[in-house]
Amino acid sequence: MTNHHEHANLIWQIADLLRGPYRPPQYERVMLPMTVLRRFDCVLASTKAKVLAEYERRKGGKLSDDALDKVLNNAAGQRFHNHSPLTFQKLKGDPDNIEKHLVSYIKGFSKNVRTIFEFFEFETEIEKMREANILYLVVSKFSEVDLHPDKVPNEAMGLIFENLIRRFNELANETAGDHFTPREVIRLMVNILFINDDELLATPGTVRKLLDPAGGTGGMLAEAQSYLREHHSAARLYVYGQDYNKRAYATAASDMLMKQVDHNGGGDNIRFGDTFTDDQFPDGKFDYFLTNPPFGVDWKKQQNEIQREYEKSGFGGRFGAGLPRINDGAFLFLQHMISKFEPVLPDQLKHGSRLAIVFSGSPLFSGGAGSGESNIRKWIIENDWLEAIIALPEQMFYNTGIGTYIWIVTNRKEKRRKGKIQLLDARESYIPMRRSLGDKRRKIGEGQDGEPDQIGDIVKLYGRFTETDTSKIFDNNDFGYTRVTVERPLRLRYRLSQFDMNLFFEDKEVKKLGEDRGTELAEVLGELSINAPFLDDAKFLSVLVKRLPLRMSKGFLKSVRATLGVTDASAEPVRDLSPDDLPLTDSEALADRDILPDPALRDFENIPLKENIDEYCRREVLPHMPDAWMDRSKDKAGYEINFNRHFYRYTPPRSLEEIDADLKQAEEEVLRLLNEVTK
C-alpha cells in the first residue's frame, strides 16, 4: 500500500500537461474532476458487470429514474453507480472520439454524481482540452494511477483529495480566501470546538452533527472528521455543508462521496444554494458549527428577502437580533447558525451547541449603539452565548493580510465560564513561512517537522481559563455601555445685519406675508438694528412682537431664529417659547420654560454599564461643560469589544541621550560619505 503523499504527487505531476492552455490557478478545473472520475472508476470496477446486467434488465421498464438509481446503487454496493459500458481503460481505445466517449461515460453515472459534474462544468473543460489536443494524454495518464480501494482506502483517498484541494487553492491564492481556510487555522478551531466534549464523544454509539453554512471545498468538515477519527473513534460525526460557489460545492460533494462517509444513507449532506435565501437545512438542528464566511461580503442581492424575513418573522426567523450594514454580511452567518442551535435538554440527549467562526475585526466594534451590529452583539452577550474570542496573527490568509479573529459561541458554557468572556491574544503565535502564498506569509506552528506546537499552546491557554499577558477574563457587561446624549444650550445673538435680513426675507414663511406686510416688517427690523446686537433671545422676541403689525405663528418664530439668529457662546440660553408667551410680561415665568439644545453642540458619551450614569456625568462631563445636561430619553444600550485596548502594551520612548547619540552617529556617517565624494 503506497503512501497517500505519493499518490497526491503523482496526480500533481499530471497537472503539468495542462501548462499552456491553462494557467496554474486554473488547473483544479480539470484535476479535481478527473481525480474524482478515476476514483469512482476504480471503486466501481469490481461490480461493473453486475451493474451493467441489472441495467440491461431494468432499462425501459416502469421504474422511475430515482428508483432505478437506487436499484443500480444497490447492485454497485455504493451510494452511486455507472451503467456505461466504458471504463478508463476502454476510453483509451478510441483516441479520435475520446471527448464524446468521456461525456457519455459521465452521463452513465447516477444522478448524484452527474449533478456534481454539472456544477464542475466539466464538459466545457473536456472541449477545451480536446481543442488543445491534450485530452487523450490526460485520460491516459490518469488511467495509470491506481486508486482502487484495495490500494487506497477511503481515509487515504480523503487525504489525497484534501492534499490536492489545498495545493490547487494555494495556486489560486487570489480567490482562495473565498472558500479555503489555512489548515492550521481549521485545526485550532476544531480543537477548541471539541475541547470540553471528551467524555461525551468517548461514549460508544454517540452520534453528533456538524454544519458549515459557507462550506467552500469542505476543508473544515474534513478536518472535523479527521479529529474525531484520531481522538474519538467510537463516536460518529455526520457533517453537512452548503455553498453557493459551484466548483466549491462540487469539490466538497465529491470529497464526501469518495470517503464513503455514512450519513444515514442519504448522501446529500453537501448541498448547493445561497445560505441567506435558500437555506438547505431549514429545520435542522446541529451540535457543532464551523465556518469561515467571506470577509466583508455585501448582501445587496439578498437584501429584499432578508429584510422581509427580519420584519415579518423577527426572532421567529433567523435574523431577529438585527441586520448588519449592507457591505458586510458576516453577522448574518452567525445568526443563521445560532437559529439552528440544539437546546440544552440532557434528559432528551440534547446537549446544546458550540460554534466556531472566523471573522475580520469589523464585527468586534463596527456600528454604534442601536445599530444592527451592536444589537447583534448585545443579543449574543446578554444571552451569555459568547464564550471567547481568539485574535490570530496577521498575514494568515491567502487573499488578505488583515487581522482575523475566531469567535466561540455556545449555549452550553461550563459553569466556570458562565457570565464570562475570554479574550485570547495569539497574534504573536506564528512562524514565518518559507514561501509566501499570496498574502499568506505566516502560519501557526503545528508541532510537526520541527515546528513549535503553537496550536497546542493556544488550546492549553484557552482550557486553563486564567489571566495571563495573553489571556484576559471579563464579565459579560464589561463590553456593554449606555450611549447617552449630551446636550448644551442653544445661545443666539441677533445682529440684524443686511445679510441676515436678506436671508430672513427669502424665507418661505416670511414671503407668505405679502409685499405690504413685508415692507412694514422691514421698517421694524431696520429700527431694531440700531440697538443690535441682542444677546437675549426672549427679550429680542418680546420687543419684536410689540412692534410687529402681525400675530407671530410657530413657523414664523422658527424662521426668525433660523435666519436672524447667530450662535454665540456669550448669549443667554434660548428657552422653549411659544408665540402665546410673547411678549413676556413676567420674567420669572421664563425660568419655567425648558432650555433648547443646540444640535451643533450635541455630543454622545458612551458610559460603561457598570457605571452610575449620574455620577459619571458629574465626574466626567460637567467639569468640562458646566452648562451641559443628559437627555436620558434618548439612551441606547450598545456593545463593542475593543480587543486592542485590553492588550495594549506601553512602550516607553527612548531617552534623549540615546536619540542624540544616534543623530551624532548619522551626522558622522554623512560627513564621511561627503568626504569620500569630494576626494
| Burial class of 531 by CB neighbour count within 10 A (0 to 12, 13 to 18, 19+) | exposed
Opening angle at CA 149, ends 146 and 151, nearest 5: 55
| 3-state DSSP percent of the chain in helix, strand and coil, to 5 | 50, 15, 35
Distance separating the N- and C-terminal Cα atoms of the chain: 74
pLDDT at 264 over 50: no
Phi, psi of 649 (to 5 degrees): -115, 120
pLDDT higher at 650 or 177: 650
Quote the DSSP letter at residue 318: S
173 vs 574: which has the higher pLDDT: 574
- In percent, the amount of the chain with pLDDT more than 90 equals 54
Dump pLDDT digits (tens) for 91-118. Answer: 988 898 999 999 999 999 999 999 999 9
Domain 1-172 has CATH 1.20.1260: yes
Average pLDDT over residues 69-90: 92
pLDDT-based confidence at residue 3 (cuts at 50, 70, 90): low
For residue 524, is pLDDT > 90?
Answer: no
Residue 176, pLDDT > 50, answer no
Lowest-pLDDT choice from 155-164, 168-177, 225-234:
168-177
Largest CA distance in the chain: 112
Report the pLDDT value the prediction gives residue 375, as an integer from 0 to 100.
96
Q: C-alpha grid cell for residue 232? A: 474519538
Check whether 134 has a pLDDT greater than 60: yes
pLDDT value of residue 411: 96
User: Which pLDDT does position 177 carry in this prediction?
Assistant: 43
pLDDT at position 354 is 97
- Residue among 377, 380, 374, 427 nearest 401 (CA): 427
Reading the block at residue 336, the C-alpha cell is 443563521
Residue 120 vs residue 513, higher pLDDT: 120
- Calculated CA dihedral for residues 618, 624, 627, 628, nearest 10 degrees: -60
Mean per-residue pLDDT, 193-199: 90
- Whether pLDDT at 265 is above 70: no
**CA–CA gap between residue 154 and residue 117 (Å, rounded):** 21
Please report the pLDDT score of residue 131 as a whole number.
93
pLDDT score of 4:
64
pLDDT at 325 over 60: yes
Q: Taking 90 as the threshold, does the pLDDT of residue 457 lie above it? A: yes
User: Taking residues 484-512, what's their average pLDDT?
Assistant: 88
* Residue 382 binned pLDDT confidence (cut-offs 50, 70, 90): very high
* Cα–Cα–Cα angle for 248, 253, 257, rounded to 5 degrees: 150
Cell 506601553 belongs to: 650
Delimit the domains of the chain by residue range: 1-172, 492-599
If you average pLDDT over residues 523-529, what whole number do you get? Answer: 86
* Cβ atoms within 10 Å, residue 116: 25
Report the pLDDT averaged over residues 124-151: 92
pLDDT at position 677 is 76
Burial class of residue 184, CB neighbours in 10 A (0-12, 13-18, 19+) = buried
The gap from C-alpha 50 to its chain's centroid, in whole angstroms, comes to 49
Span 657-663, mean pLDDT? 89
Q: What's residue 267's pLDDT?
A: 59
What local confidence, expressed as pLDDT, does residue 172 receive? 64
Query: What value does the mean pLDDT take over residues 280-300?
Result: 91
Q: Which of 258-267, 554-563, 586-595, 647-656 has the lowest mean pLDDT?
A: 258-267
**Cβ contact 594:575 at 8 Å:** yes
Give the 3-state secondary structure of residue 170.
helix
Please state, in angstroms and rounded to a whole number, the distance separating the CA atoms of residues 392 and 406: 7
Q: When comparing pLDDT for 255 and 145, which is higher?
A: 145
Lowest mean pLDDT among 319-328, 346-355, 473-482, 520-529: 520-529
| Mean predicted confidence (pLDDT) in 429-438 | 85
The pLDDT-based confidence of 154 (bands split at 50, 70, 90) is confident
Instruction: Name the percent of the chain lying above pLDDT 70.
Output: 96
Cell of 350: 440534547
Neighbours of 323 (CB within 10 A): 23
Can you tell me the distance from the alpha carbon of 562 to that of 577, in angstroms, rounded to the nearest whole number? 15
For the chain, give the mean pLDDT: 88
In the block, cell 445636561 appears at 629
Residue 368 DSSP SS3: coil
Indicate the pLDDT class of residue 472, thresholds 50, 70 and 90.
very high
| Contact call for residues 590 and 584 (beta carbons, < 8 A) | yes
Q: Residue 391: which residues within 8 A CB-CB, separation 6 or more?
A: 403, 405, 423, 424, 425, 426, 427, 643, 647
